[in-house]
Structure 1
Amino acid sequence: MPKTTSLETEAVLPLGKSIKADKSVKFAQDNLQEYLYSPTLQKSLEKWTIPVNGLTSKIDNQTSGIVASGFCFKICDRQMHEEIYELLGNSALKPEIVHQLIELVVTNKKIRLELLFWRLEDFYRRWCQGEFIDGTPDNNLPQKTRLKLAAENIAIGLRQVDIYTGLNVLILLLELHRYAQERDELKQKITFYPSAQPDTDNFFTSQLLRIINYSDALEIGNFSSIVGQFLKGGNFQNAYLGDANLTGADFSGANLSFAYLGDANLTGVNFSGANLSGANLGDANLSGANLSGANLSRADLSSTNLSGANLSCANLSRADLNRADLSSTNLSRADVSHADLNRADLSSTNLSHADLSNAILFGANLSEANLRNTNLNHADLCRADLSGADLSHAILNGTNLSDTILFSTNLSNAILVAADLSYAKLNGAKLNNARLNGAMFLGADLSGVDLSRVILNEADLSGVILNEADLSGADLTDAILFGTDFSYANLNSANLSGSNLSGAILNGADLSHSDLSYAILGGADLSDANMEKMTWGKKQQWEDVRGLETAVNMPPALKEELGLN
Structure 2
Amino acid sequence: MSYLSQIWQRFRNYAQGKKLTDKPQTNSVKAQTLFPSTKISQDLDKKPRYVQNNLQYSLFIQKLQKSLEEWGKPGNGLLSAQNEIVTAPKQRQFYEEIYDLLGHAALTPDIVEQVINLLIARKTFQPLLLFQRLEEFYRRWCQGEFLDAAPDNNLPQKKMLTLLAQNITIGLREVDIYTGLNVLILLLELHRYAQGRDELQQSINFYPSSQPDTESFFTSELLRIINYSDAIEIGNFTSIVGEFLKGGNFRGAYLGNANLTGANFSGANLSGAYLGDANLTGVNFTNANLSGANFGDANLSGANLQNANLSHADLSSANLSGANFSHTDLSRANLSHADISSANLKNAHLSHADLSSSNLKDANLNNANLSHAIVFGANLSEAKLSSVNLSHADLCRADLSGADLSRAILNGTNLSDTILFSTNLSDAILVAADLSYAKLNGAKLNYAKLNGAMFLGADLSGVDLSGVILNDADLSGVLLSEADLTGADLSYTMLFGTDLSYANLNKANLSGSNLSGALLNGADLSHTNLSYAILSNADVTEANLKEMTWGEKQQWETVRGLETALNVPELLKQELGLS
> Is the TM-score greater than 0.5?
yes
Indicate how the Cα distance of structure 1 residues 48 and 87 shifts in structure 2: closer, same or farther if over 3 A, else same.
same
Kindly provide the amino acid, as one letter, of the partner of residue 47 in structure 1. E
Give the Cα–Cα distance (whole angstroms) in 2 for the partners of residues 28 and 118 of structure 1.
35
Question: Who is 1:348 aligned against?
Answer: 362
Give the Cα–Cα distance (whole angstroms) in 1 for the partners of residues 170 and 210 of structure 2.
30
Question: Who is 2:113 aligned against?
Answer: 99
Question: Who is 2:436 aligned against?
Answer: 422
Cα distance, 1:181 vs structure 2: 0.7
Indicate how the Cα distance of structure 1 residues 217 and 210 shifts in structure 2: closer, same or farther if over 3 A, else same.
same
Question: Who is 2:74 aligned against?
Answer: 51
Which segments of 5 or more consecutive residues in structure 2 lack a partner in the other structure? 1-18, 35-46
Question: Who is 1:377 aligned against?
Answer: 391
Asked whether the equivalents of residues 78 and 133 of structure 2 are also in contact (C-alpha less than 8 Å), the reply is: no
* Residue-by-residue CA offset, 1:236-283 (whole Å, 9 max, x unaligned): 000000000000000001000000000000000000111100000000
Give the Cα–Cα distance (whole angstroms) in 2 for the partners of residues 362 and 460 of structure 1.
23
Which of these residues, 214, 220, 243, is aligned with residue 257 of structure 2? Answer: 243
**Are 2:294 and 1:252 equivalent residues in the alignment?**
no
Question: Who is 1:431 aligned against?
Answer: 445
Question: Who is 2:229 aligned against?
Answer: 215
Give the Cα–Cα distance (whole angstroms) in 2 for the partners of residues 164 and 26 of structure 1.
24
Question: Who is 2:321 aligned against?
Answer: 307
Which of these residues, 233, 239, 242, is aligned with residue 228 of structure 1? Answer: 242
Asked whether the equivalents of residues 7 and 24 of structure 1 are also in contact (C-alpha less than 8 Å), the reply is: no
Kindly provide the amino acid, as one letter, of the partner of residue 287 in structure 1. S
Which of these residues, 261, 264, 283, is aligned with residue 278 of structure 2? Answer: 264
Which of these residues, 485, 499, 502, is aligned with residue 499 of structure 2? Answer: 485
Which of these residues, 146, 152, 159, is aligned with residue 132 of structure 1? Answer: 146
* SS at 1:102 equivalent: helix
Cα distance, 1:113 vs structure 2: 1.1
Which of these residues, 200, 204, 215, is aligned with residue 190 of structure 1? Answer: 204
Cα distance, 1:41 vs structure 2: 4.7
**Are 2:351 and 1:337 equivalent residues in the alignment?**
yes
Cα distance, 1:487 vs structure 2: 0.2
Asked whether the equivalents of residues 211 and 217 of structure 2 are also in contact (C-alpha less than 8 Å), the reply is: no
Question: Who is 2:192 aligned against?
Answer: 178
* Residue-by-residue CA offset, 1:448-494 (whole Å, 9 max, x unaligned): 00000000000000000000000010000000000000000000000
Give the Cα–Cα distance (whole angstroms) in 2 for the partners of residues 346 and 172 of structure 1.
41
* Residue-by-residue CA offset, 1:521-551 (whole Å, 9 max, x unaligned): 0110011110000000000011111111111
Indicate how the Cα distance of structure 1 residues 533 and 201 shifts in structure 2: closer, same or farther if over 3 A, else same.
farther
Question: Who is 1:20 aligned against?
Answer: none
* SS at 2:168 equivalent: coil
Give the Cα–Cα distance (whole angstroms) in 1 for the partners of residues 135 and 428 of structure 2.
57
Indicate how the Cα distance of structure 1 residues 221 and 349 shifts in structure 2: closer, same or farther if over 3 A, else same.
same
Asked whether the equivalents of residues 306 and 326 of structure 2 are also in contact (C-alpha less than 8 Å), the reply is: yes
Indicate how the Cα distance of structure 1 residues 460 and 148 shifts in structure 2: closer, same or farther if over 3 A, else same.
same
Which segments of 5 or more consecutive residues in structure 1 lack a partner in the other structure? 15-22, 60-66
Worse-superposed segment, 75-84 or 127-136: 75-84
Q: Across the two proteins, how many residue pairs are aligned to each other?
A: 540
* SS at 2:134 equivalent: helix
User: TM-score scaled by structure 2?
Assistant: 0.90
User: What is the root-mean-square deviation of aligned Cα atoms in Å?
Assistant: 2.2
Indicate how the Cα distance of structure 1 residues 220 and 8 shifts in structure 2: closer, same or farther if over 3 A, else same.
closer
Indicate how the Cα distance of structure 1 residues 540 and 232 shifts in structure 2: closer, same or farther if over 3 A, else same.
same
Give the Cα–Cα distance (whole angstroms) in 2 for the partners of residues 28 and 272 of structure 1.
39
Question: Who is 1:64 aligned against?
Answer: none
Question: Who is 2:58 aligned against?
Answer: 34
Cα distance, 1:49 vs structure 2: 2.3
Give the Cα–Cα distance (whole angstroms) in 1 for the partners of residues 292 and 520 of structure 2.
56
Asked whether the equivalents of residues 352 and 370 of structure 1 are also in contact (C-alpha less than 8 Å), the reply is: yes
Give the Cα–Cα distance (whole angstroms) in 1 for the partners of residues 61 and 255 of structure 2.
36
Kindly provide the amino acid, as one letter, of the partner of residue 166 in structure 1. G
* Residue-by-residue CA offset, 1:172-191 (whole Å, 9 max, x unaligned): 11111111111112111111
Question: Who is 1:444 aligned against?
Answer: 458
Give the Cα–Cα distance (whole angstroms) in 2 for the partners of residues 28 and 78 of structure 1.
32
User: TM-score scaled by structure 1?
Assistant: 0.92
Kindly provide the amino acid, as one letter, of the partner of residue 496 in structure 1. L
Question: Who is 2:543 aligned against?
Answer: 529
Give the Cα–Cα distance (whole angstroms) in 1 for the partners of residues 249 and 463 of structure 2.
54
Instruction: Give percent identity, aligned residues only.
Output: 70
Asked whether the equivalents of residues 277 and 299 of structure 2 are also in contact (C-alpha less than 8 Å), the reply is: yes
Asked whether the equivalents of residues 7 and 25 of structure 1 are also in contact (C-alpha less than 8 Å), the reply is: no
**Are 2:558 and 1:564 equivalent residues in the alignment?**
no
Give the Cα–Cα distance (whole angstroms) in 2 for the partners of residues 25 and 442 of structure 1.
80
* Residue-by-residue CA offset, 1:7-60 (whole Å, 9 max, x unaligned): 789x9xx9xxxxxxxx9759998665233344x55543333222228xx5655x
Indicate how the Cα distance of structure 1 residues 41 and 560 shifts in structure 2: closer, same or farther if over 3 A, else same.
closer
